Amino acid sequence: MDVINRVGFWFDNLKPEVLEQTMEKQKAEASLKEAFINLALASLPISLLIFIFMAVFGQLNGVVLGLIISIAIIIFLPLIEFVSQGIYWIIAKLLGGSGTYAQQTYFRSISASVILLISILLIIPLLIPCIGIIVRLIIALFLSYYQYLVIKSVHGLSTSRSIAVVLAPVLLIVLLMLAMVVAYVLMILAILVMSVISKGF
């Protein structure tokens, strides 16, 4: 599949009914290699922008550093997606999912690639406080919805279990943040108590 057809394929599959058909037809063909190609290709615009910015505003060091960062983006953005899909896949398996990690990651890469591809257009809105929050919320809802579609189709899970898979990592992060806040408060209280005790003696 050439670049133009691949990008067109991504946008065509933004229609839920088209994505459903794709997941039915291509389950046997889904691979991590194709997922990586999708994500790496979609990362090119933002990595190229960073390289140009650093090359223009820097000297030789800026060009070299820009090249290193650009290559790192193309490699590590797909890898980050691979790790996050691994978490979803484990949760889906625990809830009775039947799909493979490669299938889930590949089909998820389709919608994720669209976001990566248009990320240049989202840079300015994301920098504006109020608008940035709204844009982040829209992106999060967009990715969560397509994650739900992929989980449900690939793993053959019910609606409720598919939603649980999508929400579980979010709930885990919230719980970890609460635990960190509680630990911080307890630490401060312990320091205050020790201070009072030491002054008493």
Contacts of 174 (CB under 8 A, 6+ apart): none
User: Is the separation of the CB atoms in 35 and 102 below 8 Å?
Assistant: yes
Length of the chain: 201
DSSP line for 56-124: HHS-HHHHHHHHHHHHHHHHHHHHHHHHHHHHHHHHHHHTT----HHHHHHHHHHHHHHHHHTHHHHHH
What is the model's pLDDT at position 58?
66
Residues 121-140 have pLDDT tens digits of 777 666 677 777 787 788 88
Token digits of residue 130: 């109020």
Residues 35-49 have pLDDT tens digits of 999 999 999 988 888
Taking the CA atoms of residue 132, residue 143, residue 17 and residue 26 in that order, the dihedral angle to the nearest 10 degrees is 140
Contacts of 166 (CB under 8 A, 6+ apart): 88, 144, 147, 148, 151
Token digits of residue 57: 């505003």
What is the model's pLDDT at position 185?
83
| Structural domain boundaries, residue 132 | 3-200
User: Is the separation of the CB atoms in 10 and 114 below 8 Å?
Assistant: yes
Task: Tally helices (H) and strands (E) across the chain.
Answer: 8, 0
pTM to 2 decimals? 0.80
Q: Into how many domains does the chain fold?
A: 1
In the three-class reduction of DSSP (H, G, I as helix; E, B as strand; rest coil), residue 45 is classed as helix
Instruction: Answer yes or no: is pLDDT of 195 > 90.
Output: no
Residues 10-22 have pLDDT tens digits of 999 999 999 999 9
